[in-house]
Amino acid sequence: ISEFLSEKDLEDISLTIRDIEKKTSGEIRVCLKRKRGYLEKEFSPREIALKEFTALNMHQTNDRTGVLFFVLFDENKFEIIADEGINSKISEDVWNLFSDEIIKHFRDKKYCAGIKNVLVKIGEYLISEFPANKENINELPDDVIIKP
């Protein structure tokens, strides 16, 4: 992953997640993978991302407000997986706009900027639709997950 994102980039992405989550009950994770595993060859990137979403227990947040941003670098593919609480409030058109923006950044090899940009956009919707409550427990870690 180091040819796409530096250690500082990964730290900046984690800080972006942390800053967003202070203002929302939503939970965001970023999972990066260089290439498919041997047993994943027959699965689509979306199916792989859904598997990661479940493995990370993102479907178990209190209000079903987990969002996973998943990248498969070698295939130039990404997926945004949102739990049912979020999908009930954010339309498919909005997700498509996010996708268009990330594609532009990735095409220019601006991976960190692209990821942070899409996280901020997602965060704006989460803050608007799912503002932080008094407790605002951080249900999931904010670190970037790097899969082999």
Is the pLDDT confidence value at 95 over 80? Answer: yes
Question: What distance in Å separates the CA atoms of residue 32 and residue 97, rounded to the nearest whole number?
Answer: 21
**CA 2 from centre of chain:** 19
pLDDT (tens digit, 9 = 90+) per residue, 101-139?
Answer: 999 999 999 999 999 999 999 999 999 999 998 887 888
Q: Are 52 and 147 in contact (CB under 8 A)?
A: yes
For the chain, give the number of residues.
148
Q: Are 81 and 99 in contact (CB under 8 A)?
A: no
Q: Are 90 and 82 in contact (CB under 8 A)?
A: yes
Question: What distance in Å separates the CA atoms of residue 98 and residue 118, rounded to the nearest whole number?
Answer: 6
pLDDT tier for residue 88 given thresholds of 50, 70 and 90: confident
**CA 9 from centre of chain:** 15
Percent of the chain with pLDDT over 90: 78
Question: What distance in Å separates the CA atoms of residue 102 and residue 28, rounded to the nearest whole number?
Answer: 16
